[in-house]
Amino acid sequence: MPKIKQNRFVGFGLSLVLKDNETWIRAQRFCGFCFVLVGFISLIFSFFCQRKDLSFV
């Protein structure tokens, strides 16, 4: 989402990140990468987990 301006409502909005525009851009890219990576890992694990393996549910 490179067109969204720096704000508190969209993205990673800690006060430390909001102080500097370059830090905000780097934080958005890092968090975006992490979200995509976690989504991909979740997708991979969803193919290997069977319903019977989830004994705590």
DSSP per residue over 1-57, as a string?
A: -TTSPS-SSSS---HHHHT-HHHHHHHHHHHHHHHHHHHHHHHHHHHH--GGG-TT-
pLDDT score for 2: 58
Q: Is 35 left (phi over 0), alpha (psi -120 to 50) or beta?
A: alpha
pLDDT band at residue 27 under the 50/70/90 scheme: confident
- Min mean pLDDT across 4-18, 24-38, 39-53 is at 4-18
- The pTM (predicted TM-score) of the whole model is 0.64
Rounded to an integer, the average pLDDT of 40-48 is: 86
Main-chain phi, psi angles of 38, to 5 degrees: -65, -40
Residue reference for tokens 């019977």 = 52
